[in-house]
Structure 1
Amino acid sequence: MGWPSVSTRRPEATWPAFIYAEPSCGSGVFNRSEDPKSVQALAAAPHFPQIVGDVAAMLADAVIVAHNIRYDSEVLSAEFARAGFAPDNLMTLCTLDLSRSFGPSLPSHRLADCAAAEGIDNGTAHRAESDARTCAKLLQIYLARATAQGLQWLDEVGVSGQLPAQPWCPAPASGSVRRRAMPG
């Protein structure tokens, strides 16, 4: 999993890491990589309950953005529930939906197709950090277009949910999470 942290100016940071999420969580879809390095990294990855406090802290006062947010929010909700915490209706925004409103007309709105249409290098598709960076760059483009159309409120661009009630997850941070600045 990887999440971008985005300011109104540029993507500021991601938390790229392998996190072991239960294969049965969320929508039941789980991508198992056959790449030996990925399999090895996943085997050494922390299980979600070990870092639940870190993830909850990252989500505090945040809008969770992803391309097909329904999948990501189902996985997060399932993992939080499995760890014994129930987040409120988390605030989310879907770049897949934004692409249909603020992107060019395309036969397919897959992340790679949207990135190519906007001249963004998608890097390695279906890798957490690469997808998070691509999603963050698309978000910037789509929000700039929404602003140019006079839209200024979160619900006008498709944000749903609400900011979590504090504190909804009292789990402590693990201390093992480090943020990295994104280039350019």
Structure 2
Amino acid sequence: MLMTLTLSAALVLTGTPAQATKSVSFQGFTIQIPAAWKVKKDPVGGLEVVTGACSKRATECPGFSIGGARDIAYASEGGPYKVGAPYHPSSGVMECVPDKRYWEGVQPVKPARTSTVAVGAGRTARFTEWRLTCQTKTSKPTSVAYTQRIWYLRKEKVLVVDQWKTPGLGNILAKAVWK
């Protein structure tokens, strides 16, 4: 009955049916994500959110990760996260996210975009967007590139990493509810 009322209200107000959502909680905050997205715990206590079909060519499925203090401690060359650098937890060369035939190329010196954004009421994150390129295993450039987006909440010890430019993720995080 409640679902019917919600769908009816959405149709009246917007002309389109409401998208079913589910709650995901992590370290004191909750976000609402589309019900079709899959959530699983990662080996160090964070969450992986898979937003679409996995490709055999990619190194990971489309989606994003939400990590805590441990993820932050190993987010840059095996050391702590650096605000002015892309997320790169390995101390070696990493495979290219959208195409594992290639390696991640030389990391850019400057981000494509950076700002302070709201993550729920009264909380802010340092948002950084990086344009990362991929190269062959013999260091030749390729046309493959991807965007890495990071939301870093220093005080809350939360790091959200999106390597797929997940549509609507910024809005989802902006509507987070904190305990």
TM over 0.5: no
Task: Name the TM-score class by shorter chain.
Answer: under 0.3
Normalising by structure 2, what TM-score? 0.25
Normalising by structure 1, what TM-score? 0.25
- Between structure 1 and structure 2, the one with the greater Rg is 2
- Give the structure with the larger strand fraction: 2
- Give the structure with the larger helix fraction: 1
